[in-house]
């Protein structure tokens, strides 16, 4: 059953209803265009679409075209109780569509047992308890908002305070007014909160910073947290953000510690019950301290890609799920170098990490945002290209940037092509879409 509700009580009511009745829930995304909604409903083979009245106008024609029943949340939430079936934990519970850097999005099938394992590991590692109160600002078609925030809160018997969407002043107001104990977001959101803080008058800044001391934990993930943002957030709020690494297919896998030192630019160690290894290109485990692809196994790992047996088979090496992310283990803590397909750039015989170059470029005082990609090139294999968004009112020439970069980056890492767009293309989770950044440098 596909469903679309605003981010309020209706969401968990419908999701839990589907689960208790033995169905597979397919959450839709409120900002997806019609074509994408249609693709998700059709690919998942949903037999029913549940819609909040706010979305009926969009969903009714799609349901009609696909010949799928449309039910309204009002109808369902007012229905009589029925006897519910007993279910095996191995039964599929959720299909989440991955953003997919290449090809069409794939449906990631998670069973009840997978979800339980994903929730329990976070309950243990981050010591969730019933007195917690978390502010939900993330979309509810993605694992971060669904599992890490909503499901964990409900499992712990805690409160999930849901905002209809992200709005920096509103979030600050909630932090100042409320009794929030936990906050989880993506780096883009922390950037926006930093921006709103910087624009506030000094007395208000003090109140905002003071409010954060009441929170017991603030977490960042779903994309690399720039070291500059880690330090800036710490200076504003006193919180060393806990950065973790995960993926729709595996839930959360690596995390900095709840108690102890959180290393900026690193994602920590395996969460309880999660097995991790790094492998080289032949699939052999790495023991030397070199970088390699992260593989994950354990009960948190998803069952399959929905109706895609070939892709499912290709994604595993025995019990190990091949994440496609490259990392290195440094002093006992993992550092993510990026996606093998888009962030590991092969240039002039070297392999360089786009994330490392981005990290360096972000330390330039006039740079607000940056995305580095590799663009195919006959001579170099790939050329390092950087799309840089400058701070408001700033100007910077390519020559000035090159001069600055010379002292900080090895020549083969220095971007040979630079452009200054007004913003970077991002998905509804706030993640930069690297394929679109590549297009900025020509098809
Ligand atoms: P998604 O399935 O949409 O959550 O995307 C998962 C991908 O986001 C991973 O495969 C990584 O490439 C990336 N990712 C998640 N967390 C981090 C992190 N802390 N640092 C760097 N990349 C991350």
Decide: pTM greater than 0.75: yes
3-state secondary structure of 30: coil
In sign, the C-alpha dihedral spanning 234, 238, 240, 242 is: negative
The length of the chain is 443
- Taking alpha carbons only, the member of 184, 208, 187, 180 closest to residue 196 is 208
Q: Which domains does the chain have, with CATH numbers?
A: 2-245 (3.40.50.12780), 344-440 (3.30.300.30)
The model's pLDDT over 295-323, given as tens digits with 9 standing for 90+, comes to 999 999 999 999 999 999 999 999 999 99
Q: What is the dihedral of CA 198, 201, 202, 205, to 10 degrees?
A: -60
Per-residue pLDDT of 27-80, as tens digits, reads: 999 999 999 999 999 999 999 999 999 999 999 999 999 999 999 999 999 888
Give the residue ranges of the chain where pLDDT is below 70: 99-102
Please name which of 184, 180, 114 lies closest in space to residue 149, comparing C-alpha atoms: 184
Nearest Cα residue to atom 9 of ligand 1 = 247
Query: Which atom, in ligand 1's list, is nearest to the CA of 248?
Result: 2
Structure tokens at 313: 């088979």
For strands 350-353 and 251-255, give the pairing: unpaired
Each residue of 333-372: pLDDT tens digit?
A: 999 999 999 999 999 888 999 999 999 999 999 999 999 9
> Hey, what are 260's tokens?
């102890």
Q: Which atom of ligand 1 is found nearest the CA of 143?
A: 4
By most ligand atoms within 8 Å of CB, the mutation choice from 242, 294, 336, 431 for ligand 1 is 336
**Spatial separation of the C-alpha atoms in residues 348 and 303, rounded to whole Å:** 39
Residues with Cβ within 8 Å of residue 113, at least 6 apart in sequence: 89, 90, 299
d(CA 73, ligand 1 centre) in Å: 32
Pick the residue whose CA is nearest to atom 8 on ligand 1: 222
Decide: residue 201, CB within 10 A, 0-12 exposed, 13-18 middle, 19+ buried. Answer: exposed
With 0-12 / 13-18 / 19 or more C-beta atoms within 10 angstroms meaning exposed / middle / buried, residue 160 is buried
């Amino acid at each position: 059953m596909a469903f679309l509700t605003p981010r309020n009580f209706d969401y968990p009511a419908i999701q839990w209803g589907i689960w208790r009745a033995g169905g597979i829930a397919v959450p839709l995304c409120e900002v997806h265009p019609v074509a994408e909604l249609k693709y998700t409903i059709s690919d998942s083979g949903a037999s029913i679409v549940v819609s909040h009245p706010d979305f009926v106008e969009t969903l009714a024609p799609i349901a009609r075209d696909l010949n799928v029943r449309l039910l309204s949340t009002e109808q369902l939430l007012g229905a009589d109780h029925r006897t519910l079936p007993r279910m095996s934990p191995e039964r599929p519970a959720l299909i989440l569509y991955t953003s997919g850097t290449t090809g069409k999005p794939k449906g990631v099938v998670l069973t009840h047992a997978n979800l339980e394992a994903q929730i329990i590991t976070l309950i243990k590692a981050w010591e969730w308890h019933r007195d917690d109160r978390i502010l939900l600002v993330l979309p509810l078609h993605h694992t971060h908002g669904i599992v890490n925030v909503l499901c964990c809160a409900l499992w712990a018997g805690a409160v999930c305070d849901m905002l209809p969407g992200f709005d920096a002043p509103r979030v600050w107001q909630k932090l100042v007014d409320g009794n929030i104990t936990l906050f989880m977001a993506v780096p883009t959101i922390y950037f926006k909160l930093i921006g709103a803080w910087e624009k506030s008058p000094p007395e208000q800044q003090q109140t905002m910073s003071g409010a954060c001391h009441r929170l017991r934990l603030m977490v960042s993930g779903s994309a690399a947290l720039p070291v500059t943002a880690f330090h800036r957030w710490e200076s504003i709020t006193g919180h060393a953000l806990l950065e973790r690494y995960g993926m729709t297919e595996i839930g959360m896998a690596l995390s900095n510690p709840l108690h102890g030192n959180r290393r900026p630019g690193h994602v920590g160690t395996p969460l309880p019950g999660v097995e991790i290894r790094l492998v080289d290109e032949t699939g052999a485990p790495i023991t030397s301290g070199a970088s390699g692809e992260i593989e994950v196994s354990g009960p948190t790992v998803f069952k399959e890609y929905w109706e895609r047996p070939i892709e499912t088979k290709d994604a595993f090496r025995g019990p190990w799920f091949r994440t496609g992310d490259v990392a290195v283990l440094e002093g006992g803590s993992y550092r993510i170098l990026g996606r093998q397909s888009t962030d590991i750039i092969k240039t002039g015989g070297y392999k360089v990490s786009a994330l490392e170059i981005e990290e360096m470029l972000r330390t330039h005082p006039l740079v607000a945002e940056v995305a580095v990609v590799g663009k195919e090139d006959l001579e170099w294999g790939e050329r390092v290209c950087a799309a840089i968004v400058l701070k408001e009112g700033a100007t910077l020439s390519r020559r000035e940037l090159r001069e600055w970069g010379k002292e900080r980056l090895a020549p083969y890492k220095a971007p040979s092509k630079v452009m200054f767009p007004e913003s970077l293309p991002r998905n509804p989770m706030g993640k930069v879409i690297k394929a679109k950044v590549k297009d900025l440098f020509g098809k």
